[in-house]
Structure 1
């Protein structure tokens, strides 16, 4: 494993590389997420491919740039990283949540660099539709107000690491407690970075705008694409458990599910899989499903016999 800071001119990005040679799989994490939670996925996929993961501007040890954090800017930053690293071959892109939206924007801008994609319960270019629905659902609007979340994150970005440790009191999730102690420490440390909250606030504020720009630039690909979506029934239950009325929870989750399903149309070779028994963080709760999706693509494109490794 190689870990380093790569200077792309406007900022430095923390990069982690596992394995060597082609093919190359790149993981784009979700908002507020790190590559550490992908440890099980990385361990398995790096047996058959090089896995490159990185932390976006402001995340981890990556420096916080001055630009607004649109998915276009993130895609441009990532392309610069690839250029500096001398990665010229088409890559397999794996994106979770907001990271999936970044992956879709990268594919719009640099389609020739995309060999295949795996989207993990990804935000959609139709995110603005979720915003409109949220505004119509009073309990959702009050409980999950984007403006309140953005204001909260901006407030946290002004705190010191010690202050964040007190305010957030970071704890490990059940799945994270299964990881090695070194990774557990990294996960806890990752959550008390003021720069990340600044980046997250900008990402969230501009997410719907980013999605609309993707829609304007959209051109269907012709590469293998697997879209993994969370269990719709579990999504409804989670919202109800958070105090959202059943009717609102059903409306919200139904729209989310339909938008994620539509992402399979990003490629003529796209397919959708609903992951039963999983909520949003499929890579954490059901890593075997993510591993299989990536390995299936490796087998299809590169004729790798996974069973031999």
Structure 2
């Protein structure tokens, strides 16, 4: 399914998952939110029906989806990781459509600063080029070959979800089209970020910025055998970039979530739920 719509009563809320992520892993958050909101989300690689690419394309896709679903009132927007960069694009391109924004450990418009860090060990594992090469390779495979190549596994947190949701997560990971979309995003996100940075602030848009637990991230990396000095340099920079996102609006709030990894919505879903409820109240004032 390319998109879902809870069709429940309430004000519309859109979730933009991170790169290579699916709305299925937001199941616990969505189950709570749909008691109050009409929750909408979509899979970017299944709605690539525009000549645009990158974050501009995502904003356009969302705008067209809202029209298709006959959503006429402004939405609350929740963006995680790369989805947060897309959410910022949406807020800039269609300001009349967005009434409030929650950025969940979001990619920064200044993400190029991460590439300037000296991280020899970490860079061997996860540079943009490493990711790009993998994604291009996976995009050329059949679903069966891709399944054999990546042998998808669920995280501990994902294994706590209903079995039907776990199946959706595994199926999502073995779609070659997903990796084509990821490759395009990786190719463009540096330029997209620079363009967004030049567009400046989001005026007085109600905004809550959530960031991960720096010490948890460092300690998790150390347990994996990675060098502490590199981890601290990376996490210090990431934290600073998250702090800077609070400057996007004059009506912002910043919170670092203890005991939460990059997947805050899985580790500490209540933190996301609380942020959504607060932003909803502020957007109504």
TM-score, L = length of structure 1: 0.87
Partner of 1:77: 61
Residue in structure 2 matching 1:260, options 230, 242, 251: 242
Deviates more, 1:108-117 or 1:242-251: 242-251
Task: Identify which of 218, 222, 233 aligns with 2:200.
Answer: 218
2:141 is the alignment partner of 1:153: no
Shift of 1:72: 1.3
CA deviation vs aligned residue, 1:76-113 (integer Å, no higher than 9, x gap): 22112222322221110000000000000111111121
Partner of 1:189: 171
User: Which aligned pairs between 1:72-111 and structure 2 lie closer than 5 A?
Assistant: 72-111=56-95
CA contact (8 A) 1:111 1:221 kept: no
Alignment correspondent of 1:15: 3
SS of aligned partner of 2:251? strand
**Which of the numbers 46, 49, 66 marks the counterpart of 2:37?**
49
Q: Distance in 2 between matches of 1:176 and 1:82?
A: 29
Counterpart among 187, 190, 193 of residue 208 in structure 1: 190
Cα pair 2:16 2:42 within 8 Å, conserved: yes
Alpha-carbon separation, structure 1, partners of 2:27 and 2:85: 22
Asked whether the equivalents of residues 47 and 61 of structure 2 are also in contact (C-alpha less than 8 Å), the reply is: no
- Aligned residues between the structures: 285
Indicate the residue corresponding to 1:125 in structure 2: 109
> Counterpart of 2:41 in 1: which secondary structure?
strand
Which of these residues, 278, 281, 285, is aligned with residue 260 of structure 2? 278
Unaligned segments of structure 1, at least 5 residues = 5-13, 304-309
Please state whether the residue corresponding to 1:221 is helix, strand or coil.
coil
Could you say what secondary structure the match of 1:222 adopts? coil
In structure 1, what is the equivalent of residue 19 of structure 2? 31
Q: What is the rounded CA distance, in whole Å, between the counterparts of 1:31 and 1:199 in structure 2?
A: 9
Partner residue of 2:119? 137
CA deviation after TM superposition for structure 1 residue 219, in Å: 3.0
Q: For residues 79 and 69 of structure 2, what CA distance do their matches in structure 1 show?
A: 20
Q: Deviations over 1:271-302 (max 9, x none)?
A: 11100101100001111111111122233334
Instruction: Please give the secondary structure, in 2, of the residue aligned with 1:122.
Output: coil
Q: Distance in 1 between matches of 2:104 and 2:113?
A: 19
Higher strand share: 1
